[in-house]
Chain A
Amino acid sequence: MSLLPFCQWLSETRWSIALHESLWAYPLVESTHVWSLALFVGFTVLLDLRLLGLSMRLAPASEVVRRLRPWMIAGFCLMVVTGLLLFYAIPVRTYQSIFFRSKVTLLALAGVNVWVFQTSVWRRVAEWDRDPVPPKGARLAGAASLLLWICIIFAGRLTAYNWFDCDRQPQAAIVNWAAGCVVESE
C-alpha cells in the first residue's frame, strides 16, 4: 500500500501550505530540530560512550541512564514534533526521498537496538553497573547506536538535496523503485 495519496492530500491542507511558504516558521522549526540534536543525539552519544567504557567511567551505568533519561525523552519529543512538522510542510517530496526513507529505516533499527539492549544485557546491569568498561553486549549496543545515529544525521542532512528526486528523470530503475516514484512508461 502506498502512502502517496495521503501525502498528496496532506500537502494540500491549509497549514501545510502555510508552513511551507512561511518566511519564519519553517526556518524556526528546522533550526529547533537541529538544536535538539545537541540534547537528544548529544546525550545518546554520551550514553553510548559510557557503554563503550570511553567516558564517565566512574559513574555507575544505571546512574548515567537514570540521569540522562528525562532529558533524552524531552529531546526526543522535541525532535519528533519538529521532525513531523518538517514532514508536514513538504510531504510528497519527503515521502519520495530515498534519504528520508533511509532515515526512517535507520530510526527503526535504532529502536530495535534499544529494545534488544533493554531485554538482554541491561536486565543484568546490577552485575556490571560499576565496571569502568561494561561487558561485550553493552559495548556492542553502544557501538551500534553510535553508528546508527551518525548515519541518521547523514541521511537527515542529505534529505535536503534533490539529486534523486522523482521529478528529475531519467533516474536509475533502482532509485525510482526505492523512492517510490511514479514514472510513466514509454
Chain B
Amino acid sequence: MSLLPIFEWCETTVVGQTIRDSLWLFPVIEALHLVAFAVLGGTVLLVNLRILGTAFASEPVARLARDTRPWQSGSLAAALASGSLLFLSEPRKLYYSGPFWVKMASLALAILFTFTVHRKLTLADEGQVGPHPRKLAALVSIALWSGVAWGGRWIGFSG
C-alpha cells in the first residue's frame, strides 16, 4: 500500500495551506524547529559525552540524565510539533525526497532507542551496568540523532 494518498490529503489541510500561502510562516517555523533541535541535540550530546567519559566526570550519569530530561522531552515535543507543521505544508515534495525518509527512519529509531534501551542504561545505578553496554548505547544514540540532523538539513538540498 502506498502512503501517497495520505500525503496528498495532508497537503489539502487548512494548516498546510495556510503555511504554504504565507511568506513568513514557513521560515519562522523552520527557525523554531532549529532552536528546538539545538536544545535537543545539546541534551543528547551532553548525556552521551558524559557516558563516554569525556565530559562531566563529576556528575553521576543518572543524575545528569534526570536533570536534563525535562529539557530533552520538551525540546523533542517542540521539534516534533514544528516539524509536523513543516511537513503539512509540503507533504508531496517530501514523499519524493530521499533525505526525508532517511530522516524519518533515523527519527523513529532514535526515539525508540532513547526511550527504551538508552533510558534504562542511563538511569541504572552505577555498578549495575558495565561501562561497555552504556558506551555502545551512547555511540548509537549520537549516530541516530546525527542521522536525523543531517537528513533534515539535506531535505532542503533535494529540491
A residues neighboring B (CB under 8 Å): 27, 30-31, 34-35, 37-39, 41-46, 49, 55-59, 63, 67-68, 70-71, 149-150, 153-154, 157-158, 160-161, 163
Identity of the chain A residue whose Cβ is nearest the Cβ of B56 in the assembled complex: A67
B71 contacts the other chain (CB 8 A): yes
Which residues of B sit under 8 angstroms from A58, Cβ to Cβ?
63, 67
Query: Is the CB–CB distance between B49 and A71 below 8 Å?
Result: yes
B39 contacts the other chain (CB 8 A): yes
Interchain CA distance A87-B107 in the complex, whole Å:
30
Query: Is the CB–CB distance between B67 and A55 below 8 Å?
Result: yes
Q: Closest CB-CB distance, A169 to chain B, in whole Å?
A: 18
Q: Closest CB-CB distance, B143 to chain A, in whole Å?
A: 12
Which residues of A sit under 8 angstroms from B27, Cβ to Cβ?
157-158, 160-161
Query: Is the CB–CB distance between A56 and B31 below 8 Å?
Result: no
Query: Is the CB–CB distance between B58 and A67 below 8 Å?
Result: yes
Is chain A's interface secondary structure helix, strand, loop, or mixed overall?
Answer: helix
Given A27-B154, A56-B64, A59-B58, the answer on whether A42 and B45 have CB atoms closer than 8 Å is: yes
Interchain CA distance A37-B68 in the complex, whole Å:
18
B120 contacts the other chain (CB 8 A): no
B157 contacts the other chain (CB 8 A): yes
How many residues in B have their beta carbons less than 8 Å from beta carbons of A?
A: 37
Is chain B's interface secondary structure helix, strand, loop, or mixed overall?
Answer: helix
B residues neighboring A (CB under 8 Å): 23, 27-28, 30-31, 34-35, 37-46, 49, 55-59, 63-64, 67-68, 70-71, 145-146, 149-150, 152-154, 157
Interchain CA distance A67-B64 in the complex, whole Å:
13
Query: Is the CB–CB distance between B35 and A163 below 8 Å?
Result: no
Which residues of B sit under 8 angstroms from A31, Cβ to Cβ?
149-150, 153-154
Residue from A149, A153, A158 whose CB has the most chain B CB atoms within 10 Å: A153
Query: Is the CB–CB distance between B31 and A158 below 8 Å?
Result: yes
Query: Is the CB–CB distance between B55 and A30 below 8 Å?
Result: no
Query: Is the CB–CB distance between B149 and A35 below 8 Å?
Result: yes
Interchain CA distance A113-B44 in the complex, whole Å:
26
Interchain CA distance A153-B28 in the complex, whole Å:
10
Query: Is the CB–CB distance between B55 and A71 below 8 Å?
Result: yes
Query: Is the CB–CB distance between A39 and B31 below 8 Å?
Result: no
Query: Is the CB–CB distance between B35 and A150 below 8 Å?
Result: yes
Given A30-B153, A68-B55, the answer on whether A38 and B38 have CB atoms closer than 8 Å is: yes
